C-alpha cells in the first residue's frame, strides 16, 4: 500500500499531487506517524507534538525579515527614530489572518497555491500569478545577495568569495534530499535572527521612547535625525508603505502553503501549526522593533543620510562599538540566507505544482530533477547578476518593491476567494468575521499599491496627491463593499429559500411513502402483492424517509459543517472531481476590474523601468 493509499484508507479521497507529500511528519524537532490520531491530553504530549509541527510558520516569518527588511526598518529608525514603531502592531493581525488562511488551504487541500488558482480561476490567472511570482521572486533573490555582499564587505570578506560561498550553502542545504535535514539547518538560521536582541541591548535605546513609539500612532511631520530626511509627508507615507510591503510579501502565501503540504501537516494538527505561526510573528515583530530601536539610537543626532545596510552597520559601530557593528552584519547575512531559502523554494514549489513535477524535499535530487534544477538555477542566476559588473542593482531593488505592490493585492483577492470556496475547503471555509477583516485588508493593500505605483511614475508626488488617491480608493472600497454586502445577503436568502423548498419537497415524498406503505400492507393482507406495481414506484417512495433524514441533517448543521471528528479528517477531493466554479455577478466584475488595474499598473511600471534604464 502506498502512502497515498494509506491516507485514502483513513481519511477518504485525497487531492495530493505528489505521493511524497503524504506520510509521517518528520520535523526538525520530532516525528508524528501517519496513523497517529490519538488525542493529546497531557502538557508533555502537546509540547512534543508542537515541536514536531513547528517550522512552516517560523521559517516564513523569519524569512520575511530579510535583507530588504533590514534596509527598510533601518531607514525608518535612522530617519524617523521610533515614531513608526506603531506600524508593526497594526501588521500583526494582517500577518496572522493572511498566513492562517494559506496554512488552512495547505493542510486541507494538499495542493499548492498556484495550482489552486489555475484550477479554480482558469489559465489566465494561473499563468499570470506564476509568471509574476517567478519574476518577483527572481529579483527578490538578487536583493538577498546584495545584502550578502554588503554584510561581507563590512566584515572584510571579498565580494566574490562571499557570494559563491553563500550560494553554495543555500544550494547544498536544499540538496540534502532530506526534509528533516533542511529544516534543521533552516531552524539554525532562524535562531541566528535573534542576534538582533543583543544588538538592541548594546545600543540600549530609551525604553520610554520605544514605548511611546508603539503607543502613539501618527505620521511624523519631521525627521528625528534632522538632516537625514527629504520629501516631507510624502516621504513618510511612502516609507510606511515600504514597511507594509516588506512585512507582507506575495511569496509568503505561496511558500507557507506548499511547505505545510511538504511537511505533511493535516487538519488534525492545524492548531499546532497556528501556534507555530504565532511564534514566527512574535519573532518577526521583535526583530523589526529591535532593528528600528537600534538605528534610532545610533543615528539620533548624527545627521547622516541613509545610504544602505552597510551604512547602517558603520553608524551602529560608531555609536555602540565594533562588536555591535559586527553583530548587525552577521544578522544581515543570516537574514539574507534564510530569505533566499524561502523565496527560492516558493518559486520551485509553485512551478512544480503547476507543471506536475515531483516537488518535495523528501525526495532526493535524482527523484525530482526539475524541482532541484529550478531551485539551483534561481540561486545561480541571482548570484551571477550581483557579481556582474555594471548590474543595475538599484533599479532591481526598486523593481522588487513595485512588483510586490502590484502582485500582493491580486494574491490576497484570490486567497480570500479560495477560502470561501466550499468545494475546496468544505467545513473549513472562512467565517463572516474573517471575510470582513480580509476585505478591509484588501482595500488597504490596493490603496497602498496604487500610491506606490503612482510614486514610481511620479517621483515628486506630494502629500496632498497621496491623500487624494487614498480618499478616492476609500470611496471606491465603500461602494464595492456595500455592493458585496447586499449581494451576500441576497445570496444567503436565496440559499435559505432553496433549502426550504428541498425540505418541503422531500417531506412530501415522505408523506407519499407512508401512504404507499399502508396500501402495500393492505394489499398483502388481502393476498395481493403490488411490490412490482408502477415500475417499482413504491420502492422508490419507500426510500424517501432516509432521504428526508439525510437532507434534514445536512440543512440542520450550521453552514453544512460536519461533526468535529469528521472536520478533522475532511480533505479536499481530487481536483478532477471538483465541480466547475461559476464566476459571475460581483465576482466576475471584481476579477475584470482587477485585471484592468493590473494591466494599467504593469504598463506604467514597465515604461518607467525602461525610462530609468535609458537614463542610466
For residue 312, what pLDDT is reported?
A: 93
In the predicted structure, residue 199 carries a pLDDT above the cut 70: yes
411 and 548 in a single domain? The answer is: no
User: 334 lies in a domain?
Assistant: yes
407 and 534 in a single domain? The answer is: no
Each residue of 298-335: pLDDT tens digit? 998 777 788 888 999 999 999 999 999 999 999 999 99
For residue 261, what pLDDT is reported?
A: 96
More confident residue, 322 or 587: 322
Span 111-134, average pLDDT = 88
pLDDT band at 549 (very low <50, low <70, confident <90, very high): very low
CA atoms within 13 A on the CB side of 402: 23
262 and 399 in a single domain? The answer is: yes
pLDDT band at 382 (very low <50, low <70, confident <90, very high): very high
Q: Which three cell numbers stand for residue 26?
A: 518528520
Q: Indicate the DSSP class of residue 27.
A: E
Query: With the C-alpha atoms ordered 296, 301, 307, 310, is the resulting torsion angle positive or negative?
Result: negative
284 and 139 in a single domain? The answer is: yes
243 and 356 in a single domain? The answer is: yes
Span 413-418, average pLDDT = 90
In the predicted structure, residue 191 carries a pLDDT above the cut 50: yes
Q: Indicate the DSSP class of residue 458.
A: -
Span 461-490, average pLDDT = 75
In the predicted structure, residue 292 carries a pLDDT above the cut 90: yes
**Is residue 574 within 8 Å of 15, Cβ to Cβ?**
yes
Instruction: Name residue 454's beta-bridge partners.
Output: none
In the predicted structure, residue 50 carries a pLDDT above the cut 90: yes
342 and 234 in a single domain? The answer is: yes
Least confident of 19-23, 198-202, 582-586: 582-586
User: 437 lies in a domain?
Assistant: no
> Which range among 64-73, 388-397, 586-595 has the greatest average pLDDT?
64-73
Distance between alpha carbon 603 and the CA centroid of its chain, in Å? 26
More confident residue, 345 or 477: 345
Q: Which domain holds residue 516?
A: 501-578
Three-state secondary-structure class, residue 3? helix
Phi, psi dihedrals of residue 553, rounded to the nearest 5°: -65, -40
Spatial separation of the C-alpha atoms in residues 64 and 286, rounded to whole Å = 13
**Is residue 18 within 8 Å of 359, Cβ to Cβ?**
yes
Which runs of consecutive H residues, i.e. helices, occur in 526-584?
Answer: 537-542, 544-556, 564-569
Going by C-alpha positions, the residue among 163, 196, 176 that lies closest to residue 340 is 163
User: 611 lies in a domain?
Assistant: no
pTM for the model stands at 0.83
526 and 402 in a single domain? The answer is: no
Q: Say what percent of the chain tops pLDDT 70.
A: 79
Q: Say what percent of the chain tops pLDDT 90.
A: 49
In the predicted structure, residue 495 carries a pLDDT above the cut 60: no
pLDDT band at 107 (very low <50, low <70, confident <90, very high): very high
For residue 347, what pLDDT is reported?
A: 95
Span 386-412, average pLDDT = 78
Spatial separation of the C-alpha atoms in residues 32 and 590, rounded to whole Å = 43
Query: With the C-alpha atoms ordered 295, 299, 305, 307, is the resulting torsion angle positive or negative?
Result: negative
> Where among 418, 433, 461 does a domain terminate?
418
User: In whole numbers, what is the pLDDT of the chain averaged over residues?
Assistant: 82
Spatial separation of the C-alpha atoms in residues 420 and 435, rounded to whole Å = 8
413 and 562 in a single domain? The answer is: no
CA atoms within 13 A on the CB side of 615: 7
Least confident of 43-47, 221-225, 238-242, 441-445: 221-225
Q: Which three cell numbers stand for residue 45?
A: 504530549
How many structural domains comprise the chain?
A: 2
In the predicted structure, residue 465 carries a pLDDT above the cut 70: yes
Say how many C-beta atoms besides its own lie within 10 A of residue 536's C-beta. 11
pLDDT band at 24 (very low <50, low <70, confident <90, very high): very high
Phi, psi dihedrals of residue 562, rounded to the nearest 5°: -80, 180
More confident residue, 443 or 566: 443
Spatial separation of the C-alpha atoms in residues 134 and 378, rounded to whole Å = 9
In the predicted structure, residue 435 carries a pLDDT above the cut 60: yes
Residue labelled with grid coordinates 445570496: 491
Spatial separation of the C-alpha atoms in residues 75 and 305, rounded to whole Å = 9
Each residue of 501-544: pLDDT tens digit? 655 654 565 566 556 555 555 555 555 444 444 434 444 334 44
399 and 535 in a single domain? The answer is: no
Spatial separation of the C-alpha atoms in residues 421 and 288, rounded to whole Å = 35
> Where among 353, 386, 418 does a domain terminate?
418
pLDDT band at 10 (very low <50, low <70, confident <90, very high): very low
> Alpha carbon of 566 to those of 103, 105, 561, 569, 570: distances in Å?
19, 17, 9, 5, 6
**Is residue 25 within 8 Å of 7, Cβ to Cβ?**
no
Residue labelled with grid coordinates 489566465: 124
Going by C-alpha positions, the residue among 349, 374, 402 that lies closest to residue 112 is 349
Q: What is the CATH number of the domain that holds 92?
A: 1.10.4160.10
Q: Residues 6 or more apart from 437 whose CB is under 8 A from it?
A: 93, 97
User: 485 lies in a domain?
Assistant: no
In the predicted structure, residue 456 carries a pLDDT above the cut 60: yes
Which runs of consecutive H residues, i.e. helices, occur in 81-122?
Answer: 86-109, 113-121
User: 402 lies in a domain?
Assistant: yes
User: Per 3-state DSSP, what percentage of the chain is helix, strand, and coil (rounded to 5)?
Assistant: 80, 0, 20
More confident residue, 304 or 489: 304
User: 71 lies in a domain?
Assistant: yes
> Which range among 392-406, 501-515, 549-563 has the greatest average pLDDT?
392-406
User: 445 lies in a domain?
Assistant: no
DSSP string, 283-296: HHHHHHHHHHHHHH
User: 424 lies in a domain?
Assistant: no
> Alpha carbon of 205 to those of 218, 282, 288, 505: distances in Å?
20, 20, 14, 72
216 torsion bin: left (phi>0), alpha (psi -120 to 50), beta (else)? beta
Q: Indicate the DSSP class of residue 39.
A: -
**Is residue 404 within 8 Å of 135, Cβ to Cβ?**
no
> Where among 365, 399, 418 does a domain terminate?
418
Span 209-225, average pLDDT = 81
Least confident of 346-350, 362-366, 399-403, 439-443: 399-403
414 and 510 in a single domain? The answer is: no
Q: What is the dihedral of CA 463, 468, 473, 476, to 10 degrees?
A: 170
Distance between alpha carbon 18 and the CA centroid of its chain, in Å? 21
For residue 560, what pLDDT is reported?
A: 44
Amino acid at each position: 500500500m502506498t502512502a497515498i493509499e494509506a491516507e485514502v484508507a483513513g481519511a477518504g479521497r485525497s487531492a495530493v499531487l505528489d505521493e511524497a507529500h503524504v506520510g509521517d511528519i518528520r520535523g526538525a524537532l520530532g516525528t508524528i506517524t501517519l496513523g497517529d490520531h490519538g488525542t493529546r491530553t497531557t502538557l508533555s504530549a502537546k509540547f512534543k507534538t508542537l515541536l514536531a509541527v513547528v517550522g512552516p510558520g517560523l521559517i516564513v516569518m523569519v524569512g520575511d525579515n530579510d535583507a530588504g527588511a533590514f534596509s527598510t526598518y533601518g531607514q525608518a529608525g535612522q530617519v524617523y527614530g521610533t515614531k513608526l514603531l506603531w506600524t508593526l502592531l497594526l501588521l500583526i493581525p494582517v500577518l496572522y489572518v493572511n498566513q492562517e488562511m494559506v496554512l488552512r488551504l495547505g493542510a486541507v487541500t494538499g495542493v499548492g497555491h498556484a495550482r489552486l488558482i489555475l484550477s479554480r480561476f482558469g489559465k489566465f490567472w494561473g499563468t499570470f500569478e506564476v509568471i509574476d511570482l517567478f519574476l518577483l521572486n527572481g529579483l527578490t533573490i538578487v536583493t538577498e545577495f546584495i545584502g550578502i555582499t554588503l554584510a561581507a564587505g563590512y566584515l572584510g570578506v571579498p565580494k566574490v568569495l562571499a557570494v559563491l560561498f553563500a550560494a553554495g550553502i543555500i544550494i547544498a542545504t536544499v540538496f540534502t534530499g532530506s526534509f528533516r535535514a533542511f529544516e534543521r539547518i533552516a531552524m539554525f538560521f532562524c535562531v541566528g535572527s535573534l542576534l538582533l536582541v543583543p544588538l538592541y541591548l548594546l545600543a540600549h535605546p530609551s525604553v520610554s521612547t520605544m514605548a511611546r513609539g508603539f503607543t502613539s500612532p501618527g505620521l511624523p511631520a519631521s525627521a528625528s535625525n534632522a538632516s537625514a530626511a527629504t520629501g516631507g509627508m510624502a516621504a513618510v507615507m511612502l516609507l510606511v508603505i515600504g514597511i507594509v510591503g516588506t512585512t507582507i510579501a506575495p511569496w509568503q502565501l505561496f511558500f507557507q502553503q506548499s511547505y505545510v503540504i511538504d511537511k505533511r501537516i493535516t487538519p488534525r494538527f492545524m492548531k499546532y501549526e497556528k501556534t507555530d505561526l504565532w511564534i514566527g510573528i512574535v519573532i518577526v515583530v521583535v526583530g523589526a522593533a529591535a532593528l528600528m530601536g537600534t538605528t534610532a539610537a545610533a543615528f539620533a543626532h548624527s545627521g547622516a543620510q541613509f545610504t544602505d545596510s552597510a551604512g547602517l552597520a558603520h553608524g551602529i559601530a560608531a555609536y555602540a562599538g565594533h562588536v555591535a557593528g559586527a553583530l548587525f552584519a552577521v544578522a544581515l547575512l543570516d537574514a539574507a540566507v534564510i530569505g533566499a531559502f524561502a523565496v527560492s523554494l516558493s518559486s520551485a514549489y509553485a512551478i512544480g505544482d503547476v507543471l506536475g513535477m515531483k516537488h518535495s524535499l523528501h525526495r532526493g535530487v535524482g527523484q525530482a530533477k526539475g524541482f532541484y534544477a529550478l531551485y539551483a538555477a534561481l540561486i545561480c542566476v541571482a548570484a551571477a547578476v550581483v557579481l556582474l559588473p555594471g548590474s543595475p542593482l538599484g533599479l532591481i531593488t526598486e523593481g522588487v518593491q513595485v512588483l510586490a505592490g502590484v502582485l500582493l493585492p491580486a494574491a490576497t483577492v484570490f486567497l480570500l476567494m479560495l477560502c470561501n470556496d466550499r468545494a475546496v475547503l468544505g467545513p473549513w471555509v472562512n467565517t463572516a468575521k474573517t471575510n470582513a477583516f480580509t476585505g478591509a485588508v484588501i482595500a488597504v493593500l490596493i490603496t497602498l499599491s496604487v500610491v506606490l505605483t503612482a510614486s514610481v511614475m511620479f517621483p515628486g508626488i506630494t502629500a496632498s496627491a497621496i491623500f487624494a488617491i487614498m480618499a478616492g480608493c476609500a470611496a471606491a472600497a465603500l461602494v464595492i463593499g456595500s455592493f458585496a454586502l447586499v449581494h451576500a445577503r441576497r445570496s444567503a436568502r436565496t440559499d435559505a429559500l432553496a433549502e426550504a423548498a428541498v425540505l418541503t419537497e422531500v417531506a412530501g415524498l415522505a408523506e407519499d411513502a407512508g401512504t404507499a406503505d399502508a396500501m402495500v400492507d393492505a394489499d398483502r393482507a388481502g393476498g395481493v402483492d403490488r411490490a412490482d406495481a408502477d415500475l417499482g414506484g413504491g420502492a422508490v417512495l419507500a426510500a424517501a424517509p432516509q432521504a428526508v433524514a439525510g437532507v434534514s441533517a445536512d440543512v440542520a448543521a450550521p453552514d453544512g459543517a460536519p461533526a468535529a471528528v469528521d472536520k478533522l479528517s475532511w480533505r479536499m477531493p481530487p481536483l478532477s472531481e471538483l465541480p466547475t466554479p461559476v464566476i459571475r455577478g460581483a465576482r466576475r466584475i471584481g476579477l475584470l476590474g482587477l485585471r484592468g488595474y493590473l494591466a494599467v499598473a504593469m504598463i506604467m511600471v514597465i515604461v518607467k523601468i525602461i525610462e530609468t534604464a535609458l537614463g542610466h
